[in-house]
Amino acid sequence: METDLPAAQFEEFVRSRTPALMRTAFLLTGDQHLAEDLVQSALARTHRAWRRIREEQNAEAYTRKIMYHLRVSWWRRKRVKEQHADVMPEAPVSGGDSTEDSVRRIAVWEAMMRLTPRQRAVLVLRFYEDRSVTDTAELLGCSEGAIKSQTSKALNLLRTKVPELRELRFFAEGSVA
Amino acid sequence: MTNPLKDDFASFAEHAVAPDMHAKVLAESRRLGIRRAVVSGAAALAVLVGGVTGAFAVVGSPNGPDTGPDVPAASSPSNSIEPPPEKGSDVVGPLSGTFYYIDAEGEAGATRVLSWTPGQGDPTVVLEGDDTLRSTATVSPDGRYIAWREPTPDGLDASLKLKDLSTGAVTTLMDEFRYLPCAEPEWTPDSASLLVGRLPLGEYNGVTAAYVDVAEPQTFRESVEIRGCHPRFIAEGEHAGEILYWSDSDLVAILPQGGESTLDTSGIQSAVMEFVDRVPSSLVSVGDDGSKACLSTDLETVDRVLPCDAVIGLPGADVFMAAEDFATSFLLAGDAVISRSGGVMTVFDAAGTELGAITEPPLGDGAELLSYVD
């Protein structure tokens, strides 16, 4: 199937944006291979819609939106299996972190992996990508009220699992409520 | 102040390795193209309708945001949207009944149920209470009653209340009423009984629900297992009296006292995903003859969802209409489908032909459409 856009332009998009997409996908999935699958599937759909996306100049936003939706739908199909899986992806802790940071990050990671994919996606969008409630709702295809409630639940769970986070006033708390 | 969570996320994310996946992406895109061509051929026609009443797609093949370059969007002159009527020209032939809304505009933010009949003045408050009205208030199909859960003054218990909308008389249908968010009170089609959640199912996501007759307060009749949430009745036709509910990721049809229905409800999740790239999460309503169900794709919640954004044709899983965003919602009104957006309700018949539009009265920002009673 030919597209109007030169193939080289799509290839350039893939090569330049894959690292950033992989970083987000890794946070969403907690696993390098799952993250690769997710990014690949999202980019394939971007390719299918490339003509329209090029006109709207929002290829990365489109790809990210697909990525979030795919992640949630994959999980829904597999969630019974995942709910009974005891194996948790190993926490990716850097050697350069202090012991205190490493311990906390392992706890944060484990708490993150216990969130539902939607809750995880909400946190990644709000606190990694610094998206507003409105943007997050638009990207996940849900209402702003749902984002606020999911954010609140996810943060509460993180605080429960990571005592160190209880002392911190969450920067965006005001916008969470 | 440093955002500790952002720092942690950034630290985790740096562990992701970015491979060269261009060739794999193109291969998967080709596979998707083949699959889509097959689906598209089977569905035969894609119709995309957009306009002043909000963006939504009507009947046909997948037309979500990832429609491939080989699947052209089609248009349908026969379904083009007319401009909405001027304010005041608010009567549509087939819909002369009453709409019910819920808002939180009462005194001190109290939740209210309002009724409004086009052409008959402003909305009227028929009930006011706490925010559980939003989860439990339900108008009987014949329009005579509204039922709801009302907490006792000490807040420790609650009752199932009934108000006769013609006389204003309020009675108690059930004391010590345990409300289960997954199964709010639901009227049977004859308006004689309510199906209410009684006990959560142990190993399943769902409830044991029981019938309560208006004529026999304080008494639970037979019960039925709902292995999911939000049971809704089919009022007429081949499957009259049967119950539909949402279970995990499927729409399930059962007989009135349990047992498997012959109504085919398979494939709905994938059909909706294919159409709008969102995942259905809750059943909101069912058309009178059971030929349509309206689903929500908003984030999952066990609580009742009032707006729905994907209308499915039954049996099977044809997407009849689906909103592109949450600014548009639908309401099943008898055989008609109403699309609500920006203060205008556009009415379609069962086949998807536009019948006209109704301009809503001034309502608060958060007003939600609860139901329509003919």
Give the pLDDT mean for B293-309: 82
Q: Tell me if residue A68 falls in helix, strand or coil.
A: helix
Answer whether B6 sits within 8 Å of A130, measured CB to CB: yes
DSSP code, position A115: S
Q: How confident is the model at residue B204 (pLDDT cuts 50, 70, 90)?
A: low
Smallest CA–CA distance, residue A37 to chain B, in Å, is 10
- For chain B, say whether A165 makes contact (Cβ under 8 Å): yes
> In the predicted model, is pLDDT for residue B254 greater than 60?
yes
A129-169 pLDDT, tens per residue?
888 888 888 887 778 888 888 888 888 888 877 776 665 44
B57-93 pLDDT, tens per residue?
544 333 333 333 332 222 232 333 334 444 444 445 5
Smallest CA–CA distance, residue A119 to chain B, in Å, is 10
Smallest CA–CA distance, residue A8 to chain B, in Å, is 11
- For chain B, say whether A77 makes contact (Cβ under 8 Å): yes
Structure tokens at B90: 């608010």
Question: Of B129, B98, B58, B127, which Cα lies nearest the Cα of B369?
Answer: B98
DSSP B204-228: SSSEEEEEEETTSTT-EEEEEEESS
Output A173 or B155, whichever has higher pLDDT: B155
Where are chain B's structural domains?
A: 98-371
Alpha-carbon gap, residue A22 to A14, rounded angstroms: 11
Cβ within 8 Å of A, B 324-363: 325-326
Predicted confidence at residue A79, as pLDDT, reads 39
Bond into B72 cis (ω within 30): no
ipTM of this predicted structure? 0.81
Predicted confidence at residue B275, as pLDDT, reads 84
Query: H or E stretch including A107?
Result: helix A99-114
Return the residue in A3, A4, A45 with the most chain B beta carbons within 10 A, the one to mutate for interface testing: A45
Indicate the range of A2-16, A161-175, B148-162, B233-247 predicted with least confidence. A161-175
Predicted confidence at residue B144, as pLDDT, reads 96
Q: How confident is the model at residue B147 (pLDDT cuts 50, 70, 90)?
A: very high
Q: Measured over all CA atoms, what is the biggest interatomic distance in chain A, rounded to whole angstroms?
A: 56
Smallest CA–CA distance, residue A45 to chain B, in Å, is 6
> In the predicted model, is pLDDT for residue B354 greater than 80?
yes
Q: Which residues of B touch A158 (CB under 8 A)?
A: 5
Which value, to the nearest 10 degrees, does the dihedral of the CA atoms of residues B164, B167, B172, B173 take?
-30
Predicted confidence at residue B50, as pLDDT, reads 37
CATH topology of domain A92-167: Arc Repressor Mutant, subunit A (1.10.10)
Among B12, B29, B273, beta carbon nearest to A44: B29
Question: Of B207, B135, B218, which Cα lies nearest the Cα of B173?
Answer: B218
Q: How confident is the model at residue B206 (pLDDT cuts 50, 70, 90)?
A: confident
Q: B98-371 belongs to which homologous superfamily?
A: TolB, C-terminal domain (2.120.10.30)
Closest-CA residue of A relative to B248 is A76
Give the pLDDT mean for A45-61: 77
Alpha-carbon gap, residue B323 to B153, rounded angstroms: 41
pTM (two decimals): 0.59
Alpha-carbon gap, residue A40 to B260, rounded angstroms: 40
Share of chain B above pLDDT 90, in %: 44
Alpha-carbon gap, residue B91 to A37, rounded angstroms: 53
Using only C-alpha atoms, chain A has a radius of gyration, in whole angstroms, of 17
Where are chain A's structural domains?
A: 1-87, 92-167
